Amino acid sequence: MTVRRLPTDVRVAVIGVGHLGSQHSRVYREMEDVDLVGVVDVDEARGQETAEKNETSFFRDYRELFGEVDAVSVVTPTESHYPIAREFLEMGVSVLVEKPMTMSVEEAKSLVEVAKGSQGALQVGHIERFNPAVQAAKRYIDAPRYIESIRICPYSFRSTDISVVLDLMIHDIDIILNLSKSPLKKVEAVGVGVISEAEDMANARLVFENGCVANVTASRVSSKTLRQIRVFQKDCYISLDYVERSATVWRRPLSLSACMEEGGNGRKEKELREMGMNGNGLFSCERVAMVDGEPLRKELEAFVEVVKSKTPPVVSAQDGLKAMEVAETIVERIRDNSWNNGK
């Protein structure tokens, strides 16, 4: 079947069609205002299969796409993000580069500078920004004091060349930086490689200049998948589940202070428990209403809109750089840890 495209369609291609790249290809093919020009992969059989499935062309070399596309998704192994993204940006092509944006902060800084001088835009693939739960809950979050996140999953045999900090934790680092809106003051971290040479499990404590503290855990050696974050602020906390795409706001009742005063004046413990003073019913609970949707589709729709309207990306090159800087600091702290080094 031939898909009829309009002259106004944004011409895109996907570089790298492994697990995630194949999903990029699928979503682009389904979008009405997009012309999926082709896909590229070093594995010709996989590339041909993805191209046929999505009714597009297969290219062996991404350079064949120069002059043929308006935008690309770079979904290759991390080590090739920088050179590929750089070449397309220098050609004036907009780029969505998957996280982590590069292998190092030095490369990330260089890519930011290239993007500044390019006619194309650079968006970084921090997909959780487009999770319906995150988008809906943000309106309830204004001054976080403590953030607790956990992201664990079974070993996938993907991205084993990089630390779990860059592989998984960087998602939560980006969200936490976006919520805290404060410079980072202090980092403590520990991690260990269980299967890989790099860290497979890591925990970091981030202290920000405004007093906010975040405790972040990531592991790719778990028997289950769990991706959650809780944000505590004055009189309430917000609980988000990335997998379930749900969010709940727990608020302290306005009458709590009066209840405490009455309790302190001799109110019986049993009566206080019945009122919920033992924790049951202590908070009012509100399920956050949201418009559900596939985060990847929302992310790619936002990217295409950036290409069409020339507006700034939701997740900018600077955002990607900041997340890389924090992630690299965490890895440095882990590797400086004397216990981790067996000293």
Res 70: pLDDT: 98
> What SS3 state is found at 36?
strand
Percent of the chain's residues with pLDDT above 70: 86
Instruction: Using the predicted structure, report yes or no on whether residue 242 has a pLDDT greater than 90.
Output: yes
Instruction: Using the predicted structure, report yes or no on whether residue 92 has a pLDDT greater than 70.
Output: yes
**282: confidence class by pLDDT, cuts 50, 70, 90:** low
Mean of all residue pLDDT scores within the chain? 89
Angle at 320 between CA 121 and CA 213, to 5 degrees: 150
> Phi and psi for 10 in degrees, rounded to 5?
-80, 125
**57: confidence class by pLDDT, cuts 50, 70, 90:** very high
Handedness of CA 85, 87, 90, 91 (dihedral sign): negative
Res 325: pLDDT: 97
Res 337: pLDDT: 77
As given in the structure block, the two tokens for residue 173 are 């680092």
Report which of 103, 8, 15, 117 is spatially closest to residue 58, judged by C-alpha positions.
Answer: 15
Instruction: Using the predicted structure, report yes or no on whether residue 1 has a pLDDT greater than 50.
Output: no
pLDDT in tens, 172-229: 999 999 999 899 999 999 999 998 888 999 999 999 999 999 999 999 999 999 999 9
In 189-316, which ranges are continuous DSSP H helix? 256-264, 269-274, 295-309
Instruction: Using the predicted structure, report yes or no on whether residue 126 has a pLDDT greater than 90.
Output: yes
Per the CB < 8 A criterion, the answer to whether 177 and 323 are in contact is yes
Domains of the chain: 10-128+295-314 (3.40.50.720), 130-294+327-336 (3.30.360.10)
Nearest-angstrom CA–CA distance, 227 and 8: 39
**340: confidence class by pLDDT, cuts 50, 70, 90:** very low
Average the pLDDT over 230-252 and give the result.
92
**261: confidence class by pLDDT, cuts 50, 70, 90:** low
Report CA-CA distances (Å) from 155 to 119, 198, 220: 40, 13, 5
